[in-house]
Structure 1
Amino acid sequence: MSLRIALILLTLISVVCDTLLLPFYPQFFASEFAIQDPSLIGLFVANCCVTVMLALPLWAKVAKKYHELALWLVTQVIAALLGVLCYFANTAWEFWLYYQLMLVFKASYLLIYPFALRLAQQRQHLSIIGLFSVLMHFGAIGGALIGGYFLGLGEPRYALLLSGAGDLIQVLLCAYLMVSLKIGIHQQAIESEKPRTRTPYFIWQFCFLSVVVYFSAFLIRPFFTTHWQTLSVQSSPFESALVYAIPAFAALSMLIFNHFRHRLLWPTMSRNSTLLCAMAFAALGLYFQAQQQVMLVILARVLYGIALFQVMVLLEVMLFAKSEPAHYGSDFSKVHIAQNVGVIFASLLVGVSVEQFSSTVPFYFAAIGFTGLALLLLWRVKFAGRTARIAS
């Protein structure tokens, strides 16, 4: 087994295990702990984001001294044990504590991404970022479908045991790779072409964009299945999970399209212009998902999935184009913090908005977020063009 294939498997297993309960936190807490407070669910999701946000930079520092495979070997064993403790938790607060500790150790697998990019040449980054984006989406599909299946059986806690089993499979993969590739425990030093004394300005730019994008994207996730079941009352949890996963299927179609794009007589635009269009279409997709027609919501999920895939891939391609291999891990961890800040704000707002208004309100807030970014990018594109004309 090649290192590339192994990293793909590690990513897929990790995402599946981490998203088993994500679409169903409201139903999980209601069935297991008789908690139905949307604000409390939002607070739990925000707490999960804070945990991962704080843990990842620490693992990025550890990975400068110890090889990522050796790191994952240890962290995933501990994560599996904590997953078992979550399964046996008797109270919501006991579950909450064990779950957050588990996420601390699970956060280390996010280093797979910069690790894979560091091994590749920069011209391969677009295909790798697109591939990993689809893996994240397909992991979400698998996680949502399996989680929906367990919820339909009335045994959502089985998802926690499956998550632990996935962690152990990752441990075996890491051990196999370390032995077959003769990789030691310690990390080899990576020389930086441009030593840094402070965080570059472009990192702050991408942090701002990431906060708004992830805030807007995550607003609709925690209560989407609840929103869908108000439109289609007869839908089972499994069917709700299928609708939830539509953007992931749309992302796959875009990955295939991007792969064969050079063979098609398709007009090309600059990255900034493409990003602008993608954000505008994402806003439209979010707006139409708030409507009350089932078919319109399904079509809007497709449009939103295509647009969101383009937005997230372009942001990361542009980030790593400006960064350099020696800083991939630390740069990614900083932007990942910004992503989680957006998710935290969304988690806190979504619970309150659903409780005070309805499950459709988050879609409007999210559409406003993408519309605002699209207008900002439009202003920047026009400003850059005006500046170029004046300079010439």
Structure 2
Amino acid sequence: MNLRTTILIMSGFGVISDSILIAFYPQFFETRYGVTSPVHVGAYIAAISIAVMCMLPVWARVARRIETMHLLLYTQGAAALFCLASIWAPSVESYWVLSLMMFMTKASYLLMFPYLMRLEEPQNHSLVIGLLSVVIHIGAIFGAAVGGMALEHYGPSFCIALMAAGDLAQMVLCLYLIRTGRVVKVLSREEKSGQAPVPRRSPQALSALLKLCLLMFLFDFSAYLVRPFFTLYWEARTGLHEPLLTGLVFAIPGIVALLALLLRHLVVQQPRWVDHTLFNLLLGALGLALQASESLELIIIGRCLYGWALYQVIVKLEVTLFKVSTPDAYARDFGVTNFFQNLGVLLSSFGAGFLVNLVGIPLTFVIAAAGLLLTAIIDRGWFGVDRRHAAQGELCHAN
């Protein structure tokens, strides 16, 4: 296996590990600890986001002195140990501590993305981002399906063991890359000694990055507001209490993302609307609104529209990041944008629990749809039309 393929597989294992319980934390906490509060579930998912958003910049700084793959070898091993230890956590408080330690250490695997992009030619960035996006979505599909089945038939402890297995798989692949000499060393002697100058950016590039961060924050807040309680909502709406089916419905956006990638490669000259940012944001808002319906068919159609929009907008925003950044600053700038993305997920996860208690799950979909509409308005108002990728260091619009 070459370096790109191995890193994509490692990313897949990381996503699968993260996805095993992400759709089932309400059922997990109720089954294992008897905790049924929606606010508690929202707070826990928010705490995961805090752990990742705070630690990724730290790991990015450490990676300026230690080669990325060598760093991941140890951090993913530590994450697996914390995960395994949480199997025997006797109380919900101890589970919080151990599992959050696991997420803090495993957050380093996100550095594989800027590491890989640094090694790729700029003309390949869109392809690699698309591939990585599909790997993430397929991992979410598989993780959600396996998580639902494992929780139903084998219980919470088995789910945690599967999460640890994903971290161990990443560690083994890191070792494989290091032992076979496939690792590309990107650190210069100055970087290793900690004396490499931090690349300076122009005011225009800084403005571009900050605008992109704010867009990512608002988009992630809106897109993931409904995630913590979708499985409960689906089962309550349909009366179908089958975790495997629920996991597959939860992962519909990933299936649609795979179809979108296939379309991107099979159709050379795609219609302009396919990756039109404004169109996709409006489509995503419609998809979210449809999921508030009582109709099973409309919920599924809404999941499909939401999945298409999610894939297209994420790819566009990530491509923009690597156009306004420079190779030496990829890890740093990725850490900055990831901070804002996780801040959006944090607030959406934490806010979801309160919103569900206050207005119910259906209206939460409507609020999320309104958030995407606001994102579309700001995106169009700030950045205009047809200029997002006009020049490096300048954030414009690609509509």
Question: TM-score, structure 1 length as denominator?
Answer: 0.92
Aligned-partner Cα distance in 1 for 2:344–2:184 = 37
Corresponding residue to 1:237 among 243, 248, 254: 243
Q: Match of 1:305, SS?
A: helix
Deviations 1:2-59 (A, max 9, x none): 1111101100011101111000000000000000011111111111100000000000
Return the match for 2:271 from 259, 267, 270: 267
Corresponding residue number in structure 2 for 1:390: none
What displacement does 1:268 show?
2.8
Which amino acid counterpart does residue 345 of structure 1 have in structure 2?
L
Superposed CA deviations along residues 219-240 of structure 1, whole A, max 9, x for unmatched, are 1100000110111112301110
AA at the equivalent of 1:13: F
Partner SS state of residue 84, structure 1 = helix
Letter of the aligned partner of 1:200 in structure 2?
L
- 1:294 is the counterpart of 2:300: no
Counterparts in 2 of 1:304 and 1:186: CA distance versus 1, 3 Å: closer
Counterpart residue number, 2:391: none
> How far, CA to CA, are the matches of 2:273 and 2:234 in structure 1?
36
Structure 1 window deviating more from structure 2 (253-262 vs 116-125): it is: 253-262
Match of 2:375 in 1: 373
Q: Is the 8 A contact 2:218 2:371 kept in 1?
A: yes
Quote the offset at 1:193 in angstroms.
Answer: 11
Q: Which amino acid aligns with 1:136?
A: I
1:336-357: CA deviations, max 9, x gaps? 0000110111012100111122
SS at match of 1:20: helix
Partner of 2:68: 68
What amino acid is the match of 1:169? A
8 A contact 1:210–1:338 mirrored in 2: yes
User: What is the CA-CA distance between 1:186 and the residue it aligns to?
Assistant: 8.7
Contact 2:235 2:241 in 1 (8 A): yes
**Paired position in structure 2 for 1:122:** 122
Q: Which runs of 5+ in 1 are unaligned?
A: 386-392
Q: Is 1:110 paired with 2:110?
A: yes
> CA offset at residue 380 of structure 1?
4.1
State yes or no: 1:14 paired with 2:14.
Answer: yes
2:212 corresponds to which of 206, 210, 214: 206
| Equivalent position of 2:5 in the other structure | 5
Give CA deviations for 1:209-260 in whole Å, capped at 9, x if unaligned: 0111100111110000011011111230111001000000000011111112
Q: Structure 1 214/298 Cα, relative in aligned 2: closer, same or farther at 3 Å? A: same
Q: Which residue in the other structure is 2:393 paired with? A: none
Partner of 2:50: 50
* Distance verdict in 2 for CA 1:16–1:270, change over 3 Å: closer
| Mapped partners of 1:364, 1:65: distance in 2 | 46
C-alpha offsets along residues 312-337 of structure 1, whole Å, 9 cap, x if unaligned? 10001111111111011000000000
Gap change, CA 1:90 and 1:140, over 3 Å in 2: same
Residues 125-204 of structure 1 mapped to structure 2, 5 A cutoff: 125-181=125-181, 183=183, 187-188=187-188, 195-196=200-201, 200-204=206-210
Residues 270/249 of structure 1: CA separation in 2 closer, same or farther (3 Å cut): closer
User: Which position in structure 1 is the counterpart of 2:229?
Assistant: 223
1:243–1:298: 8 Å Cα contact kept in structure 2? yes
Cα distance in structure 1, aligned partners of 2:304 and 2:342: 25
* Separation (CA, whole Å) in 1 of partners of 2:183 and 2:152: 43
1:253 is aligned to: 259
| Alignment length (residue pairs) | 381
- Deviation for aligned residue 1:367: 0.2
Q: In structure 2, give the amino acid aligned to 1:301.
A: R
Looking at structure 2, the residues matched to 313 and 57 of structure 1 have their Cα atoms a distance apart, in angstroms, of: 22
Aligned to 1:304: 306
The 1:269/1:35 distance shift into structure 2, 3 A limit, reads closer
Determine if the alignment matches structure 1 residue 315 to structure 2 residue 346. no
Q: Which amino acid aligns with 1:95?
A: Y
Q: Report the counterpart of residue 83 of structure 1 in structure 2.
A: 83
1:211 and 1:339 in contact (8 A); partners too: yes
How far did residue 200 of structure 1 move?
1.1
- In structure 2, the residue matched to 1:350 is 352
Deviation per CA, 1:76-117: give whole Å up to 9, x if none.
Answer: 111111011111111000000000100111000000111111
Partner residue in 2 for 1:32: 32
Give how far 1:376 is off: 2.4
Change beyond 3 A, Cα 1:381–1:269: farther
Distance 1:203 1:33 in 2: 43
Contact persistence 1:84–1:164 (CA under 8 A): yes
Aligned partners of 1:66 and 1:186 also within 8 Å: no
Letter in 1 for 2:352: V
Runs of 4+ in 1 over 6 A off after TM superposition: 190-193
Question: 1:101 aligns to what?
Answer: 101
Change (3 A) 1:182 1:309: closer
Q: Which runs of 5+ in 2 are unaligned?
A: 388-399
RMSD: 2.2
In structure 1, distance between residues paired with 2:109 and 2:78 = 13
Preserved CA contact (<8 Å) 1:192 1:326: no
Code of the aligned partner of 2:5 = I
Contact 2:199 2:329 survives alignment (8 Å): no
Shift in Å at residue 364 of structure 1? 0.8
* Helix, strand or coil at the partner of 1:195: coil
Percent of aligned pairs with the same amino acid: 35
